[in-house]
Structure 1
């Protein structure tokens, strides 16, 4: 492996080490092997590996002292791969939903380790009055239709873990009382969708439905975001049916690999 001047900084070294661990045929490596591959001293390779072990990206076998890819690297890799797959599958269906309802359509994913969600795709409403949603940053899962449509369909122990971590006011409309939140989640499970007002974004109405993976685990949600002044409560059920239909077909396509 040719090492350039740029590759001598710590971040570049760490990335080079991870890349080599991924691409090398061996299932694990020793310090001297990595040092030779990166053209660094064994002591530098040892420090680099220890830093990666501390972060969880690399695992050291206590019996052999050899190194392999760690659980954190594998976890992040799987999330990245699933995001690409889910987005590719969901976007055509989201586009059809956006065309039908004329409102912003969102796709969010859920990380069961972090107990948080992230918006990864947004098809914005053509209306001048609309909400622009921040993508690719972690959000609490207990607030808003997007998060609650995920949370309501999680196992009870996972719901407990989320609540035990703390529920706070994202806006003045966020449900922060655990009993009230649990009651709301039960209603969402019964209805099959979530409808909230101003719980994540002031002045916004959200309608969300869960997206499932092949094993039946909740992967994320499809959600509409509508300015409150444009939302007609009489249309809630028809909009909810469209959102649930979109989420069902995305779930089906994910399950079949379409």
Structure 2
């Protein structure tokens, strides 16, 4: 029995090591990061962090930029390049640009991770206005606030939504919904309408309209986001219609792998 326990423990170690390496990679958001800074960000003893960096160094996921300074390694960049070529969100580029041109505002593609219960912007076509919303791409954000998030959450399974609520609904601004009952009522309306609007929920003075990309598993949405004053000047029915049509086009494209590949090849 002791031998079985020891074997199970060894089998779990690679996953724990991978988790630690991924945590390190997630913090390397600058050209290079020092050991002390990494240890502070991860709240990890330097000795433990050094073992993780050594493991990542052996596979070229990280490299030494200078003594004590670490940077992303070539193996990381190779894997990232492969992932970019295969990512279906590349198929959204022209659709977002056309939505941007039709509305004059920044168009976004948002994706949701049901395991993390968070979402992020993964593609954008920025508005040409001097004053515009500039998205922070590839940063995880809460899934309970903002039109682009709620357009997805409304179509997620009920038990998944309940689990999200149980973790707490933080107030990102004074208008963020923090009550599960209020949020459920709002999500029911989004399911009925087929689109979502939000005002000041994540960023003050910002407004957005979003529609879900309706595939068998809804994990993404298309949105338009802008300063609230400017978005209020556009009739909601018109804005919703443009956003829904863009989301439907993307759903059709992603539902046809050959069409998605062709669109991706153009970018």
Q: TM-score range by the shorter chain?
A: 0.5 to 0.7
What's the CA shift for 1:87?
A: 1.9
- CA deviation map 1:226-257 (0-9, x unaligned): 11111236611111111010001101110111
Query: Which of residues 134, 145, 148 in structure 1 aligns to 2:147?
Result: 145
The match for 2:209 is: 207
User: What does residue range 162-201 of structure 1 map to in structure 2 within 5 Å?
Assistant: 162-201=164-203
Partner Cα separation in structure 1 for residue 159 and residue 233 of structure 2 = 33
CA contact (8 A) 1:117 1:140 kept: yes
Greater C-alpha radius of gyration: 1
Q: How many pairs are equivalent?
A: 189
**Cα pair distance change 1:97/1:234, threshold 3 Å:** closer
RMSD after superposition: 2.4
Partner Cα separation in structure 1 for residue 99 and residue 177 of structure 2 = 28
Segments of 5+ residues of structure 2 without an aligned counterpart are: 1-9, 20-78, 260-267
Segments of 5+ residues of structure 1 without an aligned counterpart are: 1-47, 58-76
Where relative contact order (Cα < 8 A, 6+ residues apart) is larger, the structure is: 2
CA contact (8 A) 1:208 1:224 kept: yes
The match for 2:249 is: 249
CA contact (8 A) 1:83 1:109 kept: no
Q: Secondary structure at the residue paired with 2:235?
A: helix
The match for 1:94 is: 96
**Cα pair distance change 1:82/1:153, threshold 3 Å:** farther
User: What does residue range 1-258 of structure 1 map to in structure 2 within 5 Å?
Assistant: 51-55=13-17, 81=83, 84-213=86-215, 216-232=216-232, 235-257=235-257, 258=259
Partner Cα separation in structure 2 for residue 212 and residue 81 of structure 1 = 23
TM-score (norm 1): 0.68
